[in-house]
Amino acid sequence: MTPQQLSGRLGQFAARIAKVVDARVEECDQLCRILGKSMATAKAGRKEPPAGGLETITNDKSTMTNSQSKGPRS
């Protein structure tokens, strides 16, 4: 094989590798866009928890948080 033939084959090989890499980069970009949209949708649909993260239960005699109303832990 002459140096010119070798050079031509290496150029063809490099072109094939570049196509594969470009396809992978495009696939990665698409997945990143999908993930970004999914995260934005999930954040938009999420409701904020009550202040302090505890629900307050109120009756005529006392006020307690839901963690207190569950009774003693065993």
Per-domain residue ranges for the chain?
A: 3-65
pTM tops 0.75, yes or no: no
- How many angstroms separate the Cα of 31 from the Cα of each of 8, 17, 28, 44? 35, 21, 5, 20
From first to last of its 74 residues, the chain has per-residue pLDDT tens of 899 999 999 999 999 999 999 999 999 999 999 999 999 888 887 776 656 655 555 555 555 454 444 555 54
56's CB contacts (< 8 A; 6+ apart) are 50, 63, 64, 65, 66
∠ Cα 5 8 14 (to 5°): 140
**What angle (nearest 5°) sits at the alpha carbon of residue 44, between those of residues 35 and 48?**
125
